[in-house]
Amino acid sequence: MNDIAKKLLKEVTGLDEMPKGAYSIRENSKSLAKQSSENIEIVSKKDNSGIDIIVKPNTKSENVFIPALVTCGGVSDLVYNDFYIGESADVTIIAGCGVGTGDSCDGSEHNGIHRFFLGKNSKVRYVEKHIGEGDGTGKRVIDPVSEILQEEGSYMEMETTQIKGVDSTRRITRAKLKDDAKLVIKEKLMTHGDQFAESSFEVDMDGVDSSVNLISRSVAREQSRQTFISKINGNTKCTGHSECDAIIMDHGVVKAIPEITANHLDATLIHEAAIGKIAGDQMIKLMTLGLSEAEAEAKIIDGFLN
């Protein structure tokens, strides 16, 4: 692994070296290193590129690392990863993608298609960071797709972060929830320059007492554009909430398109969206505490995306 790869790995996963337990590290469309643990098996797919991650029932408090790194220009990577989470298992998945094009003028692309099958009463925390680096004009593109199927009583928390660096992203997340299944999605996004990011969610709550909570916080700076689409369908007694909170700066543009559909009398669905520039009185308050204008702005943005 070269220095660019090491740096990207550290930023995506926080790891300085190979982790303990189960992991699969991918670099430039190839598997770089892979290891299973007693409870978590990682198997390469035979028909196309990607892996199956199989977690045994009742596995407790284990981590799986599956970062993908692209360390040069001119790479177009497409990977299919399937996660099979056994009944009552409790795991944390550290995923994410670092695309570094260096000073190359060729763009690079990583598209991960992740499918999650959560067994009954299982619990998954999925953490995904997108990092883009490089000074060249090559475009860094990341288009992730996540499909989530949650069995009864399962819980999934998905935290996704993309702060600058990625020129174009189209994220699609689809989920189907059975009885008592709960899904929490926390998205943090910052775009700048001419970047474009679209995040589209489609959640079907098919099970009684299922719930979804979708929280998006984003900042669009310079000429960047963002679109947030949330479709939530309440097909039975269930609760759904989506919240899109965005700060626009410079000439940034943010569009929020909610679509909440109650197909059942006992479906309770809420959508909230707030888009606007940093409030002037927030800046003034921090300046009266001694911060400069730039420091106040940075503090407000840091807190907002915290």
Give residues in contact with another protein (CB under 8 A).
217, 245, 279, 281-282, 284-293, 299-300, 302-306
**Cα–Cα distance, 76 to 110 (Å, whole number):** 6
The residue (of 80 and 304) whose beta carbon lies closer to another protein is 304
Six-digit token pair at 142?
């990341």
Which residue carries 């800046």 as its tokens?
283
CB 164 within 8 A of CB 129: no
Q: Which is nearer to another protein, 20 or 285 (CB)?
A: 285
What is the nearest approach in angstroms of another protein to the Cβ of residue 279?
A: 7
Q: How far apart are CA 130 and CA 187, in angstroms?
A: 11
Least Cβ distance, residue 245 to another protein (angstroms): 7
Identify which of residues 135 and 281 has a Cβ nearer to another protein in the complex.
281
Q: What is the DSSP string of 82-110?
A: EEEEPTT-EEEEEEEEEEE-TT-SS-EEE
User: In angstroms, what is the minimal distance from the CB of 241 to another protein?
Assistant: 15
Whichever of 217 and 231 has its CB closer to another protein, that residue is: 217
Measured from the CB atom, the residue of 33 and 270 that comes closer to another protein is 270
Q: How far is the CB of 185 from another protein (least distance, A)?
A: 17
- Alpha-carbon distance of 223 to 193, in angstroms, equals 6
User: Minimum distance between the CB of residue 186 and another protein, rounded to whole angstroms?
Assistant: 12
Element (H, E) at 150: strand 145-150
